[in-house]
Every structure is written in C-alpha cells, then in structure tokens.
Amino acid sequence: MGKFLYQKAREEIISLIQDGEIKPSEKIMPERELSELLGYNRMTIKKAINSLVAEGVLMKKRGAGTFLLGTDSSNKFDIGDEAPISLSQGIKVKGMTSSSFVESFKIIYDTPELMTIFNEFFEFFELIRVREADSEVVSIQKAYFPFRLFKDAHRYDFSQFSLYDYMEYKNKRPITFKKKFFARRVEEDMKLEKIGARVGEYVLCIEYLGYTEQGELVEYTQSFFDSNKVNLAIEIPR
C-alpha cells in the first residue's frame, strides 16, 4: 500500500519550501504552474494545497492567492492543540530535515494498562518510532493498537508511510481524539535516553486515545518530547 497521490504532492510542495523555493510570507505559484512543475493533475495539487492550509503551513487570502505562513527563527517546534502545524511539517518549514525510524515493532500480550484502556482486547501491536530534526532526536512515540483489528500490520514498514494511512486502508482511521498533556517521571524501563531523559527526571508527554467515526477506540499513543526542543501550545477552556 503506497501513499495517496495528494500526499506525495504535499511532500513535494514541502520540499520546495525546505529548499527555499517558497519563502515565508511569500505567495506560492498558481495551481496550474505547480501542476506542470510537479507532474500532478490540478485536482491532486488542489487537494495537497488544501491539506497544507488545514495544517497551517499555507494560508489562503481571498482574491490574493495562497501564501506560505511566516516562521520564527527559534530552534524550538510548536506542539499541542494550538500548534499551527504538525511537528514534522514544522521541522521541514524551518528548513531542517525531518526523519523518523522505527525503534521496535512487536506484539505484546496481557498488559494490564492496555487491557483496561481497550477493555475487550488482550493482544496489541506496540510501535515505537523516533522523530528527528537534522538527525537530532526530538521525540519518541509509542503507539498501541489491537492486534485483532489490524492483523496484517506486521507486513508494513511504518518508517516509510503513515500509520494513519494504513488504518484508513483498513477503514479504521481515528478522526477524534482525547488528549492529555502532562509531565511524566522517567522510569528505568521507559528507554527514553535518546531524548536525553534520565531516570528520575521529568519529560513532556502527550497521551491520546484515537476513535473512529463510529466511536470505536483503535489507538492509544504516548509521545515523549525533549523539552529543550519544543514549545507546548494548548487551548485553555474559558
């Protein structure tokens, strides 16, 4: 299973930004010209642009066109509910190379915490991925999803494409999330050395549950961050 065409086109637009072909606050070229340059039809380019607008990378101005949003010069990346773009997009927009690799991918059994969260399941995939900016580790992500719902997941390389693309292919992509932000005390078995976290110290953790359109819980994820490399932006209810 490969990526959808618009996702490939989106990545190529991000590459143009990363290479400095499109500069902060600058108007991007029209869809027709992007279509000719990148070799995709206009519908695919339009969908790619709309996805970048939704992520906060680009902004449409009525009657003026589509622009790349300005970026700050700090080396920290915004994360959280109020972050304008995703971590990987934020890395790329700053002109840095975003990369990730799979630290481990295995099946785990009879884990009390997961069995409490998911109720009816007792076998789970554990996918641990490491995200980097210019080869420096920014975060470690531990995702858990039921084996019974995704029995063929072991056949896919999640360092090459999105876990959510796979879940969408299985008609079980999460679209709503319950999130929790907190400082987590590092314990010996957590293996967070790559983000510079020592046992007994605290790291920033975002924990979330992902639900399908039908309300089925399909994902539980913990993301741990190097607090020296990120800013947490959250919405405070009034």
Question: Which tens digits make up the pLDDT trace of 141-157?
Answer: 999 999 999 999 999 99
Query: Residue 226 in contact with residue 199, Cβ under 8 Å?
Result: no
Q: CATH code for 5-70?
A: 1.10.10.10
Which homologous superfamily is 79-85+89-230 in?
Chorismate lyase-like (3.40.1410.10)
Report the distance separating Cα 71 and Cα 66, nearest Å: 16
* pLDDT tens-digit series, residues 148-195: 999 999 999 988 878 988 999 999 999 999 988 888 888 877 778 888
Determine the 3-state secondary structure of 35 from DSSP: helix
Residue intervals of the chain classified under CATH 3.40.1410.10 are 79-85+89-230
Residue intervals of the chain classified under CATH 1.10.10.10 are 5-70
* pLDDT tens-digit series, residues 66-117: 988 765 545 666 666 644 446 776 676 666 777 888 999 999 998 999 999 9
